[in-house]
Amino acid sequence: MQTTLHPTPAASSTTTGPAVALKDCSKIYGSFAALRNVSTAFNQGSVTMLLGENGAGKSTLLRVIAGLINPTRGSVQVFGSTPQQQRQRMAFMSHAPMLYDELSAIENLQYFAGLHRGPGGCACVGNPEMALRAVGLDPFLKRPVGQYSQGMRQRTSLARVLQIDPQILLLDEPFSNLDVASARQMVELLADFRTWPVAGGGHRTIILTTHQAALATELADITLTMAAGQIISVESAVGAHA
Ligand SMILES: Nc1ncnc2c1ncn2[C@@H]1O[C@H](COP(=O)(O)OP(=O)(O)OP(=O)(O)O)[C@@H](O)[C@H]1O
């Protein structure tokens, strides 16, 4: 499926260099280092899988990239500027569903689209109907999402972030609580998403955390493994095109 959610091209979205670069990044809570001197880069157009045991620092790394938390030391750059300056081009899908159970899928998307505003205060809204169709859901389903299956809820969450047409998609455990068939469907949706053209040029970058590495191996170009707040291994998939 080839689609784009934005009708008009964004101004000069093509940038050279990596999509995301971290230099000596640490995140300290009290006396505990959740991230320790992490330096790495994520190429534009790449799909990276972050692996590691509970508490390894995967979510912290994603949240630092998303600009939801600031590193205690070191720097993070997104397209050469701060994550906050590039927030419009990024979407973060947390493992918590972040949906209002009593609203329908389209009402949820419309509500969150209203919250996603650019630095100038303009609503940066794609197309909620198209986003729901892209994840295989009927946009006119009236049922509240509280009555959806877990797989449908996860797809609604994905549509919620896809509707803003992100160039960088950050996903924290997108396969958790999904059965094998639903997880495979999620992988296919993400594989499809990375092929969507970007308004103004460029490629889509995906960084995801998971404990189910086998599910995402076909999708991922790079596998980063973390332990105790550090990246302990980097592996490229055979035939990676990043
Ligand atoms: N706000 C916080 N305050 C204190 N400690 C925190 C905070 N956020 C994270 N941590 C700690 O930092 C460490 C890394 O947490 P993080 O959530 O990044 O790990 P993770 O690899 O994503 O784990 P999981 O696979 O369980 O989600 C953990 O020990 C966690 O308790």
Q: What is the DSSP code string of the chain?
A: ----S-SSPPTT----S-SEEEEEEEEEETTEEEEEEEEEEE-TT-EEEEEESTTSSHHHHHHHHHTSS--SEEEEEETTB-TGGGGGGEEEE-SS----TTS-HHHHHHHHHHH-B-TTS-B----HHHHHHHTT--TT--S-GGGS-HHHHHHHHHHHHHTT--SEEEEESTTTT--HHHHHHHHHHHHHHTTSPPTTS---EEEEE-S-HHHHTTT-SEEEEEETTEEEEEEEPTT---
Q: Which residues of 176-208 are buried (b: 16+ CB within 10 A; e: fewer)?
A: eebeeebbebbbebbeebbebebbeebbbbbbb
CB 59 near ligand 1, within 6 Å: yes
Give 182-188 contacts, CB < 8 A, sequence gap 24+.
182/149, 182/150, 182/151, 182/154, 183/212, 183/215, 184/215, 185/136, 185/151, 185/155, 186/154, 186/155, 186/158, 187/215, 187/216, 187/218, 187/219
The answer on pLDDT for 153 being more than 60 is yes
CB 52 near ligand 1, within 6 Å: yes
Counting atoms of ligand 1 from 1, which one is nearest the CA of 209? 22
Q: How confident is the model at residue 2 (pLDDT cuts 50, 70, 90)?
A: very low
Counting atoms of ligand 1 from 1, which one is nearest the CA of 95? 27
Q: Say which CATH topology domain 20-102+165-236 has.
A: Rossmann fold (3.40.50)
Question: Interface pTM (ipTM) of the complex?
Answer: 0.96
The answer on pLDDT for 145 being more than 90 is yes
Among 32, 95, 177, which is best to mutate for testing ligand 1, by the most ligand atoms less than 8 A from CB?
32
For the chain, give the mean pLDDT.
87
Greater confidence (107 vs 10) lies with 107
37 CA distance to ligand 1 middle (Å): 16
As given in the structure block, the two tokens for residue 51 are 């692996």
Counting atoms of ligand 1 from 1, which one is nearest the CA of 61? 18
Contact of 40 with 224, CB cutoff 8 Å: yes
pLDDT tens for each residue of 155-187: 999 999 998 889 999 999 999 888 888 888 889
Contact of 173 with 95, CB cutoff 8 Å: yes
The answer on pLDDT for 103 being more than 50 is yes
54 CA distance to ligand 1 middle (Å): 8
CB 31 near ligand 1, within 6 Å: no
